[in-house]
Amino acid sequence: MNESTNGELTVIFSDEHIVVVDKPAGLPTLPDGYDKTAPHLAGVLAPAFGRVWIAHRLDRGTSGVMVVARTPEAHRSLNMQFDGREVKKAYHALIAGEPPWDEYTVRLPLRADGDRKHRTVVDHGKGKPAVTHLRVLERCGAYALIEAKPETGRTHQIRAHLAALRLPVLGDALYGGAATPRVEGEPLIDRTALHAQSLIFRHPKTIEQVRFQAPYPPDFARALRALRSPEPGA
């Protein structure tokens, strides 16, 4: 295993087949459609690893663990695993609201780009099946830290499902996260408080199951500490 840091991007593991990274919030997975010169994951990795192939994505504002392929063969293997729902993903999120359950599975069909704000929306007629398994990890008064394990891979799935439950992710203005508490006039966290915590898949070459984790970044950890206080945002 090899750990190194290129700026804010941490390489958790690399070999001749894959690179596993801890993507910082704010770094897009793919090139920006409007600014081709803006930094993106593949471009940041290129100086050290050459061309890489993207097998899955994290939203720009989401931090956490990702795997990219270094060969077309590895890319095909990873794509097959993601398409076949073999990859196990776990996200941690800070949400506004008090879930009336400790564990809950959301089964609401989703349609991407479903409204004027280009959000993913629940659509029982035209939506695609979407399943997210939720578990409360910690309750913090009117907020909570939860684990979300998406069984399917729809665009913005976790954010849309939580919004449908009226439990929006903190900092997620697009899906109703305006309830984010403020500290000294500043938002507790200034991005979507969603972190890809772990990833389990089969190594494309050895076929052995591997598991990688990414620790909370400073802004997420700081927000969680503040929510644990008796009066967050006071």
- d(CA 40, CA 59) in angstroms, rounded, equals 12
Say what the pTM is: 0.91
Taking phi first (over 0 means left), then psi (-120 to 50 degrees means alpha), and beta for anything else, what does residue 81 get? alpha
The whole-number pLDDT of residue 1 equals 35
Per DSSP, 43 falls in state H
Catalytic site residue 83? no
Residues 91 and 167: beta-carbon distance below 8 Å: no
Please tell me which residue in 22, 59, 172, 219 is annotated as part of the active site.
59
Q: Where are the domains of the chain?
A: 4-228
The whole-number pLDDT of residue 230 equals 66
Give 144's strand partners.
Answer: 95, 139
CATH of 4-228 among 3.20.20.70, 3.30.2350.10, 3.20.20.100, 3.40.50.1820 = 3.30.2350.10
Element (H, E) at 66: strand 63-69
User: Can you give the pLDDT of all 234 residues of the chain as single tens digits?
Assistant: 344 434 489 999 999 999 999 999 999 998 876 666 789 999 999 999 999 999 999 999 999 999 999 999 999 999 999 999 999 999 999 999 999 999 999 999 999 988 988 999 999 999 999 999 999 999 999 999 999 999 999 999 999 999 999 999 999 989 986 557 777 777 889 899 999 999 999 999 999 999 999 999 999 999 999 999 866 554
Closest Cα to residue 165, out of 105, 88, 92, 228? 105
The whole-number pLDDT of residue 6 equals 42
